[in-house]
A and B are shown apart, each in its own frame.
Chain A
Amino acid sequence: MTDVVKMVHGAGGQAMQSFIKEYILRHLGWGTGEIPLSSLDDSGAIDGVVLKSDSYTVKPLFFPGGDIGSLAVAGTINDILMIGGRPIALALGLIIEEGFPFSDLDRILKSISNTAMKVGVPVITGDTKVVEKGALENLVLNMSGLGVRHPYLDHNLEVVKKYRDGFDEKWLLDSNIKPGDKIIITGYIGDHAIALLSVREGVNFEADIKSDAAPLNGLVEAALKMGGVVAMKDPTRGGLANLLNEWSEKSGVGIKIYEECIPIRDSVRNVCEYLGLDPLELGNEGKAAIAVIPELADKVLEAIRQNPLGKDAEIIGEATDEYDFVIMETVIGGLRAVPPPIGDPIPRIC
C-alpha cells in the first residue's frame, strides 16, 4: 500500500521511526562500533571518533532568528555534543538549483562561517553540485561533522559512577536513563518551529518569536564539568514529545513530566492555542534535554543556567518505573499520556 516515500517519513515522528527501522536498518544496520547505526542515537562513534551527517531543507531559507546556514551548523554540532563528543571539524555539501541567486548564497555562507567561527569549528572539506532547475527547490545543504571524546566526558562519567553502582557506559546514550533520573530542558521550547510557521504562506502571522538555532558547546561543557549527566538529546523535529518517547523506549523506563514546569513563552503558547498546536511537538534547534542523576540535578541545573543559552533551564520531570510510557501532569492536575507525534505539527480547525 505504501509504495512511495512521503513527507511524513522525514518529519521526525512515528512514521519516520518505522521507516528507518524497516528500510535503513534492514540494509545498513549490520555495522558495529562504540555507537553503531543500529542504536539510532544522535551521532555514531567508532574508535573514539564521533561522526554525524545531517541534511537540511527548510522553507523559507531565511527566517526570523536564522537561516539554513546557521541551522545546519547548529544542528550538526549539537548532535555531536549530545552523545558526549567535542566537535572539531565540519564538511559542507552544497546542492544548488540552477538560477539560485549568488546574493542569497553569499548570505548563507556568511552565516555558516559566523556560526562555526563562534564555536571554533572549521569547515575543512566540502563539495558543490548544481542541478537543473526544478530538480530541487533552491538549495539543499549537507553538513557532516567530526568529533572526539569531549574532554570532560570521562570526568562526568566518573561522577555518575560514584553515585550509581555498576554504571559502565562510555557515552551519553539514549538508553542510559534509570528511574529517578531528573530531566532538564535548557530553555524555552517551540521558538524555532513557530518562527518558521510565522513566515509560511497561508498561515503567516506577526510575532516577536525568533528561531533558537545555536550550537550548545558552552552549555554542554558546563554540564559535563559539573558531572552527573547520563544522557543528552536535542528536541529537534518531533519536539520534546518525540525525544521523551525515544528515551522511554530505549531506556525501558517511564518518564513523568510536569506541564507547569516546562518553559514556554507566552507568545508561543498563544500561537499554539489559536492554531491548535501542541508545544511539546514543536521542533527546537538550540535546546537540549539532559538526564541527570537525581543527586546532582540541582547542581547541573545551576551550572547550565550560568550559560546564556541555558539561563531559562528548568527541571521538568523525572524517569520513573511507575509507568512504562511518557506521562504528563497537566496544569489543572490531570494526567495524560504524551504520545510521539505522527509528523510535523499542522494547524487545525478542529
Chain B
Amino acid sequence: MSEIDIKDILRLYRDPKIARRLAFKIRDIAKDLEDVLIMHVCGTHEWTITHYGIRSLLPDNVELRAGPGCPVCITPASDIDNIIKLGMEGVVVTVYGDMSRAKGGKGMSLEEARSRGADIRIVYGIQDAFMMAQRDPNHKYVFFGVGFDTTAPATAYMVKKGVPDNLSILSSYRYVPPAVGALMMAPDLAVDGIINPGHSSTVTGMKPYKEYFDRNKKPMVFAGFEPIDVLLAIYMILKQIETKEYKMENEYTRSVTWDGNVKAMETLLEVFLLSEGYWRGFGVVDKSGFVFRNTHKYVDARYIYGLSEPRDKEDFVAGARCADVIKGKIDPVECPLYMKECTPNYPRGPPMVSIEGTCKIWADHKVTGIIKCRF
C-alpha cells in the first residue's frame, strides 16, 4: 500500500499548471500541421471536454468531434418505446437516470411516461433493481439494460447469480469495438485520429481494436476521463501525426490493459451472445448487440413480453442531418436546421433532445468558436 493517497495523485490530473503547459505544447505542435479532426466516441469524454472547457484551450486548427458513443443517444428508439409500453402496462421500470430523459420513436421519454402513470424508478446499479424487485414480489419489474460492454458485465453477473422471479431485463447492450471499427472504415469520414473510450476499453482491452487499426492505420489513443487525460491524448495524437508514426497508444495505463478485464468479458459472454446490433442514427453493426443466450431467456424481457426487435430505420425530420451528426460526419452548424428550425427549446431531432446529444451540447455550450482562451 502506498504512502501517498491516490486521491492526491489524481488531483494532479486536474492541475491548472500542467493543463496550461499541455495546451502550450498542443499549440506548438499544431502550428506546423494542417487542420486536424479528432474524434472521440464516448459521452463521458464529451462531458470532460465541455465541462472543463477543453475546446477553448485548443488552437483553431484542432477540432474535437463527438462520435456515436453515448448510450442515451444510440439506444434504439423502438426499445425506448418497448420499455415505455411495459411501464404503461403496469410493470415497474428500473432505469439509469440519464436514460429516463431519452425520447423514443413517438417522442415520449420514460420521464414523460411517469407523468402518465407509469412507475419509473431511477437506480444507480442493477443490484438496486434486484433489491426493489425482491422486496416487492407481487409486482413485475423490468430493468432497462442500456450501455456498452462496460455496463453489461454487472448485469451478466447478477443474472448468473440468480434473478428474482418478478424481474426481467430488456437488453439494449452494445459492444463498442466493431462500431469504432465501422467508423474507421467509413469512406466518407475524414477523421485524423481517434480517442478511444477508457472505461469500455478497460473491460474489452485494447486487443479487439487491433484488426481495425491494422486495416486502416490512424492515430488511436486510449484515454482516461480527467481533463489532463484528454489533453494528453490530444497531444499524443498530434505527435503521431507530426512524426507520421501511427500506433495504438495507451494514455490510461492506470486502468486500460491490452487484454482488458478478462473475467468481466467471460462472464458477459456466458450470459449473452453477440448478434447484429442497431445503433440509433448510426445503423446496424455486425456482432455488436448483446442478446441473451437461449440458456438465459427466462430473464429476457424481449422474449417474455414478445417485444419487437429494434428496427433498423429511423425517420428524421425532412432536411435534418441528424444521422450525419450522430455518425460524426458533420458538425451541427453544417445542418441547415441547426439553431434555425431546430433549437434546444424546439428540438427537431435526437441530437438536440438529449443532454448528451451533440447538437444540444453545441447549442448550450456555445461551441461555435465564440469561446477561446487568450494565450
Contacts of B114 in A (CB 8 A): 7
Contact A346 B121 (CB under 8 A): no
Nearest CB in chain B to that of A266: its residue:
B7
Contact B19 A202 (CB under 8 A): no
Provide the bound-state CA to CA distance between A278 and B112, in Å. Answer: 23
Provide the bound-state CA to CA distance between A325 and B365, in Å. Answer: 10
> Any chain B CB within 8 A of the CB of A166?
no
Contact B122 A331 (CB under 8 A): no
Q: How many Å from the CB of B117 to the closest CB on chain A?
A: 10
Contact A348 B53 (CB under 8 A): no
Partner of B122, one of A1, A336, A339, A347: A347
Contacts of B51 in A (CB 8 A): 278, 330, 336
> Any chain A CB within 8 A of the CB of B70?
yes
Contacts of B227 in A (CB 8 A): 330, 332, 334
> Any chain A CB within 8 A of the CB of B90?
no
Contact B53 A335 (CB under 8 A): yes
> Any chain B CB within 8 A of the CB of A5?
yes
Interface 1/0 per residue, A1-31 and B, CB below 8 Å: 1001111100000100010000000000000
Nearest CB in chain A to that of B146: its residue:
A349
Contact B54 A334 (CB under 8 A): yes
Contact B14 A202 (CB under 8 A): no
A-facing residues in B24-83 (Cβ within 8 Å)? 43-44, 47, 50-57, 70-72
Partner of B98, one of A7, A14, A349: A349
Contacts of B228 in A (CB 8 A): 332
Q: How many Å from the CB of B363 to the closest CB on chain A?
A: 8
Contacts of A1 in B (CB 8 A): 107
Partner of A203, one of B43, B124, B372: B124
Contact A332 B365 (CB under 8 A): no
How many pairs of residues, A versus B, come closer than 8 Å at their CB atoms? 122
> Chain B: interface secondary structure?
helix
Contact A334 B57 (CB under 8 A): yes
Contacts of A308 in B (CB 8 A): none
> Any chain A CB within 8 A of the CB of B355?
yes
> Any chain A CB within 8 A of the CB of B155?
no
Known contacts: A203-B122, A334-B53, A336-B56. The answer to whether A350 contacts B371 by CB under 8 A is no
> Any chain B CB within 8 A of the CB of A189?
no
Nearest CB in chain A to that of B94: its residue:
A202
> Any chain A CB within 8 A of the CB of B216?
no
> Any chain A CB within 8 A of the CB of B137?
no
Contact A334 B56 (CB under 8 A): yes
Known contacts: A202-B128, A332-B227, A333-B373. The answer to whether A346 contacts B356 by CB under 8 A is no
Contact A336 B16 (CB under 8 A): no
Contacts of B94 in A (CB 8 A): 202
Nearest CB in chain A to that of B231: its residue:
A332
> Any chain A CB within 8 A of the CB of B295?
no
Known contacts: A7-B114, A328-B53. The answer to whether A348 contacts B107 by CB under 8 A is no
Partner of A336, one of B23, B99, B151, B371: B371
Q: Which among B97, B121, B344 has the greatest number of chain A C-beta atoms within 10 A?
A: B97
> Any chain A CB within 8 A of the CB of B239?
no
> Any chain A CB within 8 A of the CB of B259?
no
Contact B345 A18 (CB under 8 A): yes
Nearest CB in chain A to that of B364: its residue:
A339
Contact A337 B366 (CB under 8 A): yes
> Chain A: interface secondary structure?
loop
Contact B115 A333 (CB under 8 A): no
> Any chain A CB within 8 A of the CB of B123?
yes
Contact A346 B98 (CB under 8 A): yes
Provide the bound-state CA to CA distance between A275 and B128, in Å. Answer: 14
> Any chain A CB within 8 A of the CB of B288?
no
Contacts of A275 in B (CB 8 A): 124
Contact B371 A346 (CB under 8 A): no
Provide the bound-state CA to CA distance between A7 and B115, in Å. Answer: 7
Q: How many Å from the CB of B125 to the closest CB on chain A?
A: 9
Known contacts: A6-B115, A8-B111, A337-B371. The answer to whether A201 contacts B53 by CB under 8 A is no
Interface 1/0 per residue, B141-178 and A, CB below 8 Å: 00000110001000000000000000000000000000
Provide the bound-state CA to CA distance between A114 and B21, in Å. Answer: 54
Contacts of A347 in B (CB 8 A): 96-98, 122, 124
Known contacts: A335-B53, A342-B355. The answer to whether A276 contacts B47 by CB under 8 A is yes
> Any chain B CB within 8 A of the CB of A327?
yes
Contacts of B20 in A (CB 8 A): 332-333
Provide the bound-state CA to CA distance between A276 and B122, in Å. Answer: 14
Contacts of A328 in B (CB 8 A): 53
Contacts of A202 in B (CB 8 A): 94, 121-124, 128-129, 132
Contact A350 B98 (CB under 8 A): yes
Contacts of B372 in A (CB 8 A): 335
> Any chain A CB within 8 A of the CB of B204?
no
Contacts of B72 in A (CB 8 A): 350
Q: How many Å from the CB of A7 to the closest CB on chain B?
A: 6
Contact A350 B115 (CB under 8 A): no
Interface 1/0 per residue, A312-350 and B, CB below 8 Å: 000000000000010111111111110100110011111
Provide the bound-state CA to CA distance between A339 and B371, in Å. Answer: 14
Contacts of A334 in B (CB 8 A): 19, 52-57, 227, 373
Provide the bound-state CA to CA distance between A44 and B98, in Å. Answer: 36
Contacts of B56 in A (CB 8 A): 334-336
> Any chain A CB within 8 A of the CB of B100?
yes
Q: How many Å from the CB of A318 to the closest CB on chain B?
A: 17
Interface 1/0 per residue, B301-315 and A, CB below 8 Å: 000000000000000
Contacts of B99 in A (CB 8 A): 349
Q: Which among B56, B101, B116, B129 has the greatest number of chain A C-beta atoms within 10 A?
A: B56
Contact B344 A350 (CB under 8 A): no
Contacts of A332 in B (CB 8 A): 14-16, 19-20, 52-54, 57, 227-228
Cβ contacts A to B, 17 pairs, < 8 Å? A5-B115, A6-B111, A7-B111, A202-B132, A203-B122, A203-B128, A329-B53, A330-B53, A331-B52, A332-B52, A332-B57, A332-B228, A337-B364, A347-B124, A349-B96, A349-B97, A350-B43
5 A-B pairs with the lowest CB-CB distances in the bound complex, closest first: A334-B53, A346-B97, A339-B364, A336-B53, A332-B19
